Structure 1
């Protein structure tokens, strides 16, 4: 009987260990599920302009005035916005700090980040990066970078992949026509 209990104990320990080990990757993924950027220090950096538009303020602004170039495809994206943060500077030292702060986003360091659009021309680079969970984005980062200026516009809200793809494809087709 003692040998049987010892065998059951070993099996229980092995089974428990296997379950714990199998659960660790899921826990690690959950822990890494959202990339967080500490922007509070940007409030204290000289020559970094910070603008915040609250959900209440966005609700008071007519949705029609938020449309970009009258693009209907953007309306779904614009309707999903709950708040906006804008960080910008044209000072070289401040630009370096902005680049350092948003490096996890621009370098796509985490699996929850996806580059949705990239435009490079003589004026600089524009990136649109989404923080995705399945087919929905909770954060969109539009990063406009040039030698003279660096701007990050962070749209918080809920955006479906379909809305984002529709907006990006319409924007790209409009640029080709020009």
Structure 2
């Protein structure tokens, strides 16, 4: 009986180990899934305007001049920006290409994406989507969709959830007062 239990215990440990080892890559992949967008083809599409502001260029601009509408809550976000990319067009075909390129972001296809803000008014729709890793966002996507223009602004950097919530709640309060 003792030999049987030892064999059973070894078999259980081996089986448990195998299950854990087989399960680890799936768990690691789920936690490590990051949405990647290939924007290089937008450079080749006619009527898509592309602007890139490098980290070096951002460092040369005083942070105070980057404030949006003088909002203090935005200062934490503005300080966390390391680079900015802007993709915009007013051409229908080019707009379709931009939408197609950013579809994984717009449609929130992956668990690392979270819609932080959505505003619809008479002029169009503004979405703010964050690519989060825990309590930090590494990418913010502001998508502005109007009747005759479409713009995606990608802010790269490091943004805490607290900074994002503060900025979004201040913006919502400002909109209610209008």
Which bin holds the TM-score, normalised by the shorter protein? Answer: over 0.9
| Helix, strand or coil at the partner of 1:125 | strand
Structure-2-length-normalised TM-score: 0.92
Query: How many residue pairs end up in the alignment?
Result: 177
* Equivalent residue number for residue 24 of structure 1: 25
* Equivalent residue number for residue 133 of structure 2: 133
| Helix, strand or coil at the partner of 1:119 | strand
* Equivalent residue number for residue 152 of structure 1: 152
Give 1:29 deviation, angstroms: 1.1
* Equivalent residue number for residue 63 of structure 1: 63
| Helix, strand or coil at the partner of 1:52 | strand
| Helix, strand or coil at the partner of 1:111 | coil
CA distance in 1 between partners of 2:32 and 2:162 (Å): 26
Give 1:19 deviation, angstroms: 1.2
Show structure 2 runs of 5+ residues with no match: none
| Helix, strand or coil at the partner of 1:35 | coil
Give 1:132 deviation, angstroms: 0.5
Give 1:21 deviation, angstroms: 3.2
Give 1:12 deviation, angstroms: 4.7
Deviant stretches of 4+, over 2 Å: 2-13
| Helix, strand or coil at the partner of 1:145 | strand
Give 1:6 deviation, angstroms: 6.5
Give 1:123 deviation, angstroms: 1.0
Give 1:73 deviation, angstroms: 0.6
Q: Deviations over 1:89-138 (max 9, x none)?
A: 00000000000000100100000000000001111110000000111000
1:49 and 2:49 aligned: yes
| Helix, strand or coil at the partner of 1:143 | strand
CA distance in 1 between partners of 2:32 and 2:158 (Å): 20
Give 1:31 deviation, angstroms: 4.0
Give 1:23 deviation, angstroms: 1.2
* Equivalent residue number for residue 116 of structure 2: 116
Quote the RMSD (CA, aligned, Å): 1.8
Q: Deviations over 1:128-178 (max 9, x none)?
A: 000001110000000001231110000000000110111111111111111
